[in-house]
Structure 1
Amino acid sequence: MAKQVFAAHEHAGFARWVPASASVSCPRAIAMPRENPSMDAIADVSAALQPSTSASSREIASRLSAVAIDADEGMVKQMLATLLSCQLRPSDEALASQLGVLMHLFLTLRSMALSDDLTGLYNRRGFLRAGTRLLSAASREKHWALLFYIDVDDLKSINDTAGHAAGDSLLTRTAQVLRSVFRDSDVTGRLSGDEFAALAPVTHPGACDLIRHRLQTAVAADNLSHAGPSLSLSVGFAQFNPRKPSSLADLLRKADRAMYEYKLPKLVRPDRNVRTALHG
């Protein structure tokens, strides 16, 4: 009986289900959108996987490799949608090379699904997932935590006047600032276009003053080392109290509200490039 290639794309150990000698077939054709030319590569692989074709597993592996090298998130998702419908059938043809490509595609998608392409930080989905785990641990271990909601000031104006390259530079600079201030064990992410967040477990809520100072120092140093538009951030804080635990969504709402209370009257000046507010 044929076995499914994937039980679910989240399962990292699917390779062990595959016999040493096999090839693939799909029970039905998959409609592959042609919204841009890059989707042609996905459609070609989909066609090769159909029962009516005689493509060998090595030929399919070659096509999969080309997709894996240049794939963007949409391409990989479409490929996995196709592969999820594919089945294995006994064959004299070794599938080892193809399995390596399939695993690469799987790991690529899992990485893409949780990270922001521009900054390398978590995207919103990744931040929510990692942040929820961190808060669960903080609650169990009775640790405080601080949630920082960070907005890059005037990003739209800079995009309009200096170009999107300048705006992208501010976003990557913000990510570098966050990496320099927060620890590897903290959770940092880009939630949307100009909004970032960081979640840090602390021994005492008073640590927010120290982190705020580090942010101010890091942004000032960044501006001194760049000749382009000045980086200016608005930052709101919210506290996680292990005695009265809050959800990550609730902390984000509180920190976002605190940030915007200070953002509107803020003047963007090189000598005041970080304005912070605390919402307890």
Structure 2
Amino acid sequence: MSNGTKQQYKQFNIDSISDACLTLGMLITGVIVNLEKYKEYAAEAELLLESNDEEYIPAKAYDDINDKLLYRQREILKFLADHQNSSFSYINLRRLLEKKGYLTSPLSVEMTQLLNELLDVRNWTFHNPQSLMVAAKEVAEKNLPDELKGIAQVLPQLNPVIVKKVNRYELIMLVSLTIHAKRRTVQFEKNLASMKSDYQELYNGIENKLFVMTQEGLSSEVQYAERFIDSGLTDFSSDIAQISMAIQKSKYDGTDEKFGELIMRMGNEVSDKKGVE
């Protein structure tokens, strides 16, 4: 029976090149899957632009694509440029692997600048309500006509509370969206190439590593193989999500009892629902 503390499960320790490969590989696969969907949605935006010659785009048509792009962008940034101490992302992991001596080749100036830019994008994406309130107040005050500054005062409307819903967007906003998506795609692909290069360097440093059979024969080059799976509510991925959530809430101590309790509870909920049906 395993025992542990809740705190030790908050962090995955990287104590070997194999640990480094495992961690970087997880980030790589996350970027690959989400970038594939991002490019798919970017193509949808292009088609919408090509098929529309009106001055405005209906809000639903624009939002449906924009929302999908933003979701995938957020997911990719989570793997590339999340600067939280409790999070793994390429921008932090790369520095750690250099510090530990697992990676000896320095990150290029271009890639360093690119990762810092994506960090800014990540921070901008997660605007908090307080900064938005301060910005709204600033915009209102700075837009007062010069002749009224110092005389008039900007007062908020407290009742009724206005709920603004966009009915349509200017076509230029869709143009901007497609340009943005193209630029981000190039940046994400550069990051992915850099991550794969780092993974190969790490893998080369492993002694007694496995060789893969290719059409050209045995090779130590890292291969990326797709495997299509069915996703279910009670599969391995679901178990991982359950344990991960418990770890984040400090409700997992590593014991067999706690593990069984979390996984069994999920299974019972599914069984109960099936029984009701």
TM range (shorter): under 0.3
Higher helix share: 2
TM-score by length of 1: 0.25
